[in-house]
Amino acid sequence: MCHQSVSLVARVLEEHHLPTVIMGCAPDIVAHCGAPRMLASDFPLGNSAGRAFDEPSQDETLARALALFESATGPGTIVTSSLRWQQDDDWKRDFMNLEKLSEAEVRSRRAEFERQKHVARTVKQV
């Protein structure tokens, strides 16, 4: 979901006395929208809750987000998780860089994306 949309919803929930913590990967957007609390991860977009298929990183991310409820000192609190996507930051240069992929790999990924959209449409219709 869009960081901006989530931030705006969080603000409305907070106005109705429902505390929120956003887990996200774009702290600049969340800060600009004035969201009350955020656990920022230096992960690729779409991985705000931890590494895919890595329950320990997901559990730790959730625990840190819940701890933020207790430790946040005021509105606009952004805490950056110390979890790392990889040991080095090379993924930032390589992530979603089509120039590094063969045409066959791009076709394969596009086909998988289309398959996932088809599944989503099928589920939505049920």
What's the confidence (pLDDT) of residue 57? 92
**The pLDDT of residue 23:** 94
Please give the residue that has the higher pLDDT: either 74 or 31. 31
The dihedrals phi and psi of 58, each to the nearest 5 degrees, come to -70, -40
36-80 per-position pLDDT tens digit:
899 999 888 888 899 888 999 999 999 999 999 888 877 789 999
- The confidence score (pLDDT) of residue 121 equals 87
Q: Where are the domains of the chain?
A: 3-88, 96-126
- Residue-level pLDDT at 33: 87
Does 126 have pLDDT greater than 70? no
